[in-house]
Amino acid sequence: MKLLRLSFYFSVLAAANAMPAFAAPEPSAIVPLYVSTNRPLAMLTIGDGAPMPVVFDTGTDENVIDAALAKRVVLKIVGHSTSVDGATGKKLEVPVAETPDPRLSGVPLDTKTVQLFDYHAGDEVGIFGPYSFGNRYVVLEAGLNRLRIIPKNGGFVPPGKGHVYMENIPAAQIRVAGKLQDAVLDTGNDSALALPAALIKSVPLNAPAKILGKAVSAHGEQDVLGGDLAGSLQIGPYRVSNPEVSFLDTVANVGFPVIRHLTVVLDPANKLAWVLDPAMEKPRWADFTGRFGPRTIRLVHGKLIHQRDGRPPFALTYLGGDLFEMTATGDRIQFFRDGGRVVRLELITKENRISPANRTS
C-alpha cells in the first residue's frame, strides 16, 4: 500500500556602482536541496556539529527534530508548546529545544528553537521550513534543487501583491478541471494534488474514487481516497493532464511533484507568496539593458541578450518578476531595483555560484 508523505502544516498555539544605496548590498545565499524520491532535503548544522539531513517543508510553520537525536547531541530543553497536525487535527504537547547557531548549508537561520518529536522517516532527522529565514525572501527553485535566500535591503522586487498565506502556509491559485480555487504549497507532500474530502463527488475522475493508500503526517495517518483527475491541473505556467488526486479532510494542497516545475517566491515575515508566471506580466525590456560590470545586456530584435566581455552572447528567457534564464547554459540572472530602476544583477550558475555586478551605465 502506498504511503503519501504529507506535512499538512503543524500550527503552534503557544511557544516558549551606479547607486550609492547599492554600494554594499547584503549578498544573496544559496541552500542546495537534495531530492530523495519526492522529498527535498537540506543539510542542517547546529553549532560545530556534523551536517544532518532535514526535509525543507513549506507546509510547516515550526521546525522539528527527532527527540532521540536531540538527546544525543545534547540540545537544551527551554520550554514546551502545543502543536496541531493539520492532517489529523491531533494536538500534542511537545518539548522545545534551543539550537545554537543553526544553519542550512552554511546559511544562518533566524529561528533558534525546534520542537522535539519521535520522528522516524528514513534518513531524515527533522523538518525545517521557510520561517527559519526570518525577514528574508526565500526563492524556491526546486527544479534546480536549490533555495535562494535574498535579504530585504538588496532591491529584490517580487511581482505584484502576492498571494496571502492560508493557515500560515504559502498558497496560490490553482485551476482544477477548469475551476479556480486556492491551495497551499507544500513541499513536504510527496503527492501531486490533494483536495478537500467534501469535493470528492464534484471533482471529475476517470474512474470512481478508491483507497490509494495512507497519508502519513507528524502525528498519525489516515486512509486516502482518490484517483486520476478527468482534466488538468494548472498552477502558474505549469499544466499537467490527468494527475492523480487524493481527497483528505484538509484544504487543497499542491505537493512537491508539481512544485518542482515552478519558481516560487516566499516572504515568510509578511506571509505572501508568488508563483512566477511570465504570461501574467508585461515587463519593459529597456529596464534591463545596460552595462553591469563585465556584462552587457542589450535588446536585439525584441529579445534580451546577455554577453560577458570576451565570451559568446546568449539570449535570455523571461521567467517572471525580474528573473531571466540563459536557456543555453542553464544560468539565471536576477535583477535588483532601487526606486524602480534596475541597479544591479546577480548571475546564478547552475552550479550554484552567484556573481553580482552593479550597473555602470
Cβ atoms within 10 Å of 194's Cβ, excluding its own: 28
Say if residue 214's pLDDT is above 80. no
* Residue scoring higher pLDDT (315 or 121): 315
Q: Mean pLDDT over residues 9-34, rounded?
A: 62
* Chain centre distance of CA 282: 24
- Per-residue model confidence as pLDDT tens digits over 242-282: 999 999 888 999 999 999 999 999 999 999 999 999 999 99
pLDDT of residue 219: 56
Q: Which of 353, 159, 182 is nearest to 267 (CA)?
A: 159
List the grid coordinates of 216: 502519513
Residue 258's contacts (CB-CB under 8 Å, 6 or more residues apart) are: 192, 193, 233, 235, 238, 240, 243
pLDDT at 11: 43
Q: Distance (Å, rounded) from C-alpha 159 to C-alpha 181?
A: 20
Place of cell 482534466: 231
Q: How confident is the model at residue 36 (pLDDT cuts 50, 70, 90)?
A: confident
Q: Which of 291, 288, 295 is nearest to 336 (CA)?
A: 288
pLDDT over 60 at 218, yes or no: no
Give pairs for 219-226: CB < 8 Å, separation 24+. Answer: 219/83, 219/85, 219/87, 219/88, 219/90, 219/92, 220/85, 220/87, 220/88, 220/90, 221/3, 221/88, 222/87, 222/88, 222/248, 222/249, 224/4, 224/248, 225/197, 225/200
pLDDT at 129 over 90: yes
Neighbours of 168 (CB within 10 A): 20
3-state secondary structure 52-109: EEEEECCCCCCCEEEHHHHHHCCCCEEEEEEEEECCCCCEEEEEEEECCCEEECCEEC
Q: What is the pLDDT of residue 22?
A: 44
pLDDT tens digit sequence for 61-93: 999 999 999 999 999 999 998 876 655 567 788
Nearest to 273 by CA among 325, 318, 236: 236
Cell of 106: 552554511
Predicted confidence at residue 26, as pLDDT, reads: 84
Tell me the per-residue pLDDT of 282-320, one tens digit each, with 9 for 90 and over. Answer: 999 999 999 999 999 999 999 999 999 999 999 999 999
Average pLDDT over residues 32-59: 94
Please tell me the number of Cα atoms within 13 Å of 151 on its side-chain side.
11
Q: What is the mean pLDDT of the chain?
A: 90
**What is the C-alpha to C-alpha distance for residues 156 and 345, in angstroms, rounded to an integer?**
10
- Determine the average pLDDT of the residues in 5-30: 55
The percentage of residues in the chain with a pLDDT greater than 70, rounded to a whole number, is 90
Name the percent of the chain lying above pLDDT 90: 81
DSSP per-residue letters across 32-50:
E-EEETTEEEEEEEETTPP
Chain-centre distance for alpha carbon 354: 19
Q: Are 41 and 59 in contact (CB under 8 A)?
A: no
CB atoms within 10 A of CB 221: 15
The confidence band for 17, taking pLDDT boundaries of 50, 70 and 90, is: very low
φ, ψ at 120 (rounded to 5°): -125, 105
CA 169 to chain centre: 11
- Name, in order, each residue with C-beta under 8 angstroms of 25's C-beta and a sequence gap of 6 or more: 151, 153, 154, 155, 336, 344, 356
C-alpha angle 31-67-2 in degrees, rounded to nearest 5? 70
Distance CA 272, CA 319 (A): 19
Residue 171 — very low, low, confident or very high, per pLDDT cuts 50/70/90?
very high
Q: What is the pLDDT of residue 92?
A: 81
Instruction: Give this prediction's pTM.
Output: 0.90
Which residue in 177, 184, 342 sits closest to 271, CA to CA?
184
